[in-house]
A = this chain, B = another copy of it.
Amino acid sequence: MIDIDKLLAGDRRMAARAISMIEDEDEDRQKLLSELFPHTGNVLTIGITGSPGAGKSSLTDALTRQARQQDLKVGIIAVDPTSPISGGALLGDRIRMQEHALDRGVFIRSMGTRGCLGGLARATKDAVKVLDAFGCNIIFIETVGVGQSELDIMHYADTTLVVLTPGAGDHVQTIKAGIMEIANIFVINKADLGNTGKMITDIEQMLDMSSHHNGWRPPIIKTVTTEEKGLPELWNMILTHKEYNETSGAQKENERKRVQQEVQELLEEKIQNQLKLKLSSNGNMWKLVESIVERNMDPYAAANKLLKEFLSI
């Protein structure tokens, strides 16, 4: 069982268990999240996405160092839909994160796919809430790929970094439109590895043609994580975006959207569950199927009949 007071006081084991409950789709997870919810809303979430090999992990590492210098408590959620195993850090993560593993101010968690991909986005958002209540000041959500579930997750973040790298075939034109649109800050990582001029021009041209939500035009920051270059600049830009969000009202607006989205998703999920229950316990269904097979009824009339029954439970 989860001792909520301990979790709120910063007990790491309780936080880990709570996230496992979420991943396992434990029946009691909603009750838990309900109780944690009043203690959330204080965290800054940073989404980090981009093509494989762009150095997202090293960047997360470097940003974690920046945050730790400010004595902020950091959560790192690595989302990997390609990994069937979850609930533990990937081997690569474990090695990579050795530096932070002993730091009690950093909580690292990998989330893989259990069940459907939609479930991964849902579970990640709930894990954010756990780490928020646990006392993290900042959470980095790093995605391995750029599929639909990752896009959903990035939409959930306060600030989204899209990480590109020159020379790795990262041509701006070929990057999925959906990815470019979610960027609040562009990071050109491994900026020492190629000509960044063309890439910057391409991004700027694309930005010239886009309308900028709330008037924030995504800046472009060059970094070389291996040499710690550009990291203070990137960190400051994250704080600038945070401030911008707060003063422009975008923060409140985003939160309202997130909440509405979340309530709707939860409601749809509950209705689906009720529906399954109803249909599996409904001996009537078999009679209906027989009448349809015999052409005494049609599927559309049958669905209407069931709809009426269902909505008057």
Contact = CB atoms under 8 A, between A and B. Distances in A.
A290 B252 CA distance: 10
A2 to B, nearest CB: 16
B295 A41 contact: yes
B263 A288 contact: yes
Interface of A: 30, 33-34, 37-38, 40-41, 252, 255-256, 259-260, 262-264, 266-268, 270-272, 274-275, 279, 285, 288-290, 292-293, 295, 298-304, 306-307, 310-313
Nearest to A291: B259
B302 A270 contact: no
Contacts of A264: 279
Contact of A262 (B37, B299, B301): B299
A295 B38 contact: yes
Given A289-B259, A300-B33, A310 B252 contact: no
Nearest to A36: B298
Given A34-B300, A259-B289, A311-B312, 14 more contacts: A34-B301, A41-B295, A259-B299, A263-B299, A266-B302, A267-B275, A267-B279, A267-B303, A268-B275, A270-B304, A271-B275, A271-B310, A311-B313, A312-B312
B267 A298 contact: no
Nearest to A38: B295
Contact of A263 (B40, B292, B312): B292
